[in-house]
A and B are shown apart, each in its own frame.
Chain A
Amino acid sequence: MSNSGDDVGPPKRVTDFHSISKASVGQILGLVEAVDEAGGTADVATISSEVDMDIDRLGPILAAAEFLGLLEVEDGDVRMTDLSRKLLSASVRERKSIVRGIIDDLPVFRRVTEMARVAGRPLDRREIVDALAASVGSHQAEEVFKALVYWGRYVELVRYDSESELLSLRTPSK
């Protein structure tokens, strides 16, 4: 979808990728479920009190869900999207493949998987962090890398061994 030549974006997108490093799959799905239970749309304050989490903790999760296209936030109102409706009615397996579609389209993720594909060998953590540091700064590179491994593993596109610190690609099991 998005093309990486589009130059307004890279730093901003990378920062966004950084934003999903602050939330786990379970939290994002839990939030979507909560919005669904509240009738598919609700204001943030209501959700916050419903799920008993203050805005400080809810914020990053909300941002991540928005970034993944699962929720829309406008004027303090949270709304479900078609994608999240589809996600909720899906099984554990199908949820994965839906999220895979989203993650696989993120430029940063693309860049790293492309790196691995071109190299034709497992990549060292160091190599990837260095490459990321070039675009996001060394400060965020580690976090982005962590998020990359987390989401990459979840959608079964990435295999990472924390012992050898080697990252390689994998084909999802259906």
Chain B
Amino acid sequence: MTEPHPLLKVKDVTKSYFEDGKEFKILDLIRFELAEQDFVCVVGPSGSGKSTLLRILVGLEKPTSGEVLFEGQPIRADNPQVAMVFQSFALFPWLTVTQNVELGLEAQNVPLPARQARARKFIDAVGLTGFENAFPRELSGGMKQRVGIARALAIEPLLLCMDEPFSSLDPLTAQNLRDEILQLWSDPQLPPKAVLMVTHSIEEAVYLADRVIVLSSRPGRMVAELVIDLPRPRNRKEPEFYGWVDEIYSLIV
């Protein structure tokens, strides 16, 4: 009945902070759309407002002007169709792996048996079976982020938002987790329908994304929107791969 909306529509979002009456513009006229099956990365140098943009997109912060529509409706922070993965993992230190993963389900009042079954499924999907009753402090960094991912997937969101999810990990763990994310992404049985990821690593963006949105440094403006049509699995040694990386580099510098 309703005309089809894009999953996420970002309409001319601008964000400024005001200090002592002076305006500090962080984001300037960001506009793009996200459809199902999109894996989009936003790249930009540190301080270009990527985290701020993501927080606006999931409704944690209000834009100074412009708006964000999720399936045609203004976005809300507690929207159960959107889930978030954090750079610092943001796990609750006093909850076990299972309890952390159940967090969103508990908030949605999912009955206990269903909740446990769902948590088990996603803990298994990220390879954490065996660590169900461990506390975050007992896990390595990579495993902590797996919990973060399982917690996000457990609410079966349409859109998964990730803010530099691999930046606090060592390079090896990060690479391993990137590949596992792609494995999960390629499984049509599993949520989400679309991924929006923010990163400062151009290589990472080219390695993962179908589409890359490039932000300039302060204020963050959209410099380019590129479709990465490299076949998967991608090899970071190939010249085509490096062609893309170099192109984005030249756009930012």
Contacts and interface: CB of A to CB of B under 8 A. Distances in A.
User: What are the 4 tightest A-B residue pairs by CB atom distance, in nearest-first order?
Assistant: A30-B172, A26-B142, A30-B176, A26-B173
Contacts of A25: 140, 142-143
19 contacts: A26-B143, A29-B172, A30-B171, A30-B172, A30-B174, A33-B176, A34-B172, A38-B237, A51-B171, A53-B171, A92-B180, A95-B127, A96-B127, A96-B129, A154-B130, A156-B129, A161-B133, A162-B138, A173-B129
Nearest to A58: B172
B140 A24 contact: yes
Contacts of A92: 125-127, 180, 183
Nearest to B126: A92
Interface string A89-133: 001110110000000000000000000000000000000000000
Interface in A122-174: 149-150, 152-156, 158-162, 170, 173
Q: How large is the interface on B (under 10, 10 to 19, 20 to 34, 35 or more residues)?
A: 20 to 34
B66 to A, nearest CB: 38
Interface string A27-69: 1111101100110000000000001110001000100000000
Given A24-B173, A51-B175, A93-B127, 8 more contacts: A26-B143, A30-B172, A30-B176, A31-B172, A34-B172, A53-B171, A96-B129, A154-B131
Interface string B120-144: 0000111101110111001011110
A78 to B, nearest CB: 13
Given A26-B140, A27-B142, A95-B127, A61 B172 contact: yes
Contacts of A34: 172, 175
Contact of B124 (A24, A27, A173): A173
Contacts of A27: 140, 142, 170, 172-173, 176
B246 interface: no
A30 B135 CA distance: 24
Q: How large is the interface on A (under 10, 10 to 19, 20 to 34, 35 or more residues)?
A: 35 or more
A109 to B, nearest CB: 14
Nearest to A157: B130
A30 B175 contact: yes
Contact of A24 (B134, B142, B179, B183): B142
A52 B172 CA distance: 9
Interface string B55-95: 00000000000000000000000000000000000000000
A64 to B, nearest CB: 11
Interface of A: 24-31, 33-34, 37-38, 51-53, 57, 61, 91-93, 95-96, 149-150, 152-156, 158-162, 170, 173
B175 A162 contact: no
A67 to B, nearest CB: 16
Contacts of B124: 93, 173
A155 B130 CA distance: 7
B5 interface: no
A169 B124 CA distance: 18
B43 interface: no
Nearest to A29: B176
Nearest to B237: A37
B235 interface: yes
Contacts of B180: 92
Nearest to B142: A26
Interface in B154-201: 169-177, 179-180, 183
B183 A91 contact: yes
B130 A153 contact: yes
Contacts of A154: 130-131
